[in-house]
Amino acid sequence: MIDLYSANTPNGKKISIMLEEIGFDYKVIKVDINNGEQFKDEFKKISPLSKIPVIIDQENKKTIFESGAILIYLAELSGKFYNSEERLEINQWLMAQMGYVGPMLGQHHQFHHYNPGKSKFGEDRYFKISKRIYKELDERLSKSKYLSGKNYTIADIGTFPWIARHEWHDIGLKNYKNLTRWYEEISDREGVKKGFAFMDENEVPPKPY
In the chain, what are the helix, strand and coil shares in percent, each to the nearest 5? 60, 10, 30
Tens of pLDDT along 167-195? 999 999 999 999 999 999 999 999 999 99
Q: Is the pTM of this model over 0.85?
A: yes
Cβ-based neighbours of 159, under 8 Å, separated by 6 or more: 93, 97, 101, 137, 147
DSSP class per residue in 36-51? TGGGSHHHHTT-TT--
DSSP structural state of residue 207: P
- Which residue segments constitute the domains of the chain, with CATH numbers given? 2-80 (3.40.30.10), 84-195 (1.20.1050.10)
Phi-psi region of 79 (alpha: psi -120 to 50; beta: other; left: phi over 0): left
The DSSP secondary-structure symbol of 192 reads: H
Q: What is the mean pLDDT of residues 26-54?
A: 97
pLDDT digits (tens, 9 = 90+) for 90-127: 999 999 999 999 999 999 999 999 999 999 999 999 99
